[in-house]
Structure 1
Amino acid sequence: MIRNAVKDDVKSISDLHSKCIYTGFLTSLGNKFLELFYCAFIETKSSEILVYESDGEIVGFVSCSTNLKDILKYIILHELHTLFFAVKHKLLDWKIYRNVIEDILYFRKTKYRVNSAELVSICARDDMRGNGIGSALVEEMIGKLKKQGVESVATLVSDDLQESKGFYEKNGFRLTGKIKLHNNKESSVYTYKIKRQ
């Protein structure tokens, strides 16, 4: 069953993220940061998380935003003290500062076109992969975005994640660009054009 995430889901979502997306920058900041990050998605009107439940457990999720700056603004205005405690174990790691600055600059450079969104993260529990959970989540999220008048959805995929690139291509996303982030590592920009009826 697919449903909208609620605050009580944040710990499960964060745990799932850290197990499935274990090489990502966000994961490197720890579960407390992930909880804060995904709570901001639930609290901001421009963002959304859908979860896939099986037997009462969250086994997959997708997060999407029409304005990632709102996430950053929410964290700074409402959770700055929590942010400090969530990442205090990383405060002496200069790479974290560099990556945070790169992300902030990315947010500032990102020109949010009217009627566009960014798919930020998607994952399914390892033992549930291959069952169509990811595709079902993407389809449901795109349906919701279409009702909101969104015309395109973009996502960043690290160039070394061939399986992820194949997933997006299988689900109708097309390669539309390249960008370098986090240690000048190249990522592909995939975009899904939402068809109007």
Structure 2
Amino acid sequence: MSRFVVASLDAEGFWPLAKQIDSPNQDERPSGTLIDLVVVHSISLPPGVFGGPQVQQLFTNCLHPDEHPYFAQLAHLKVSAHFFINRNGAVTQFVSTYRRAWHAGVSCLKTVESSRERCNDFSIGIELEGTDSSTFSDLQYEAIASLAQVLHRAHPIAYWRAHSEIAPGRKTDPGPYFDWDRLLREAQIPGQMRP
């Protein structure tokens, strides 16, 4: 049984069960935008190291580039995601789902019906603490399944994609160890939402 009482997004687009930390890396979506895509990412800072504050620091422009050699290449980035789920399944929300988080970069959603660029405009980004070469925890699947149910009630979500699927050749996350079938089953997401 889930430890989450799923609840709903509030009127401002925040999930009350998530810790709220405001990221400056966000802006308004284009007027009239239909939010119908969820993009799943993975991140760890430094790569392969879990449990530290560095992801939060990156999303709030507080990452110290001298703390680790890898961080120097991130110093200029202004990025965020709507949600971050750590290895223990704790969820942090950085951006309202009604606003545009800066998570997808140069991207394109290709479906049978169309091809749409600038996925940040119409998507919600979920970052899982992890790497392309590691499995994700049971607690992370529990959290993302609960969050998925909340998002489907609040927005007309029609598509779930990996970051690698909307930015092929540029991104590889969340990698081959993310279990899409498990997410779809546990969140009761219709299979046609995946390619």
TM class by shorter chain equals: 0.3 to 0.5
Q: When the two structures are superposed, what TM-score results if normalisation uses the length of structure 2?
A: 0.38
Higher share in helix: 1
Q: When the two structures are superposed, what TM-score results if normalisation uses the length of structure 1?
A: 0.37
- Kindly indicate whether structure 1 or structure 2 has the higher relative contact order, using CA contacts under 8 Å at least 6 residues apart: 2
Higher share in strand: 1
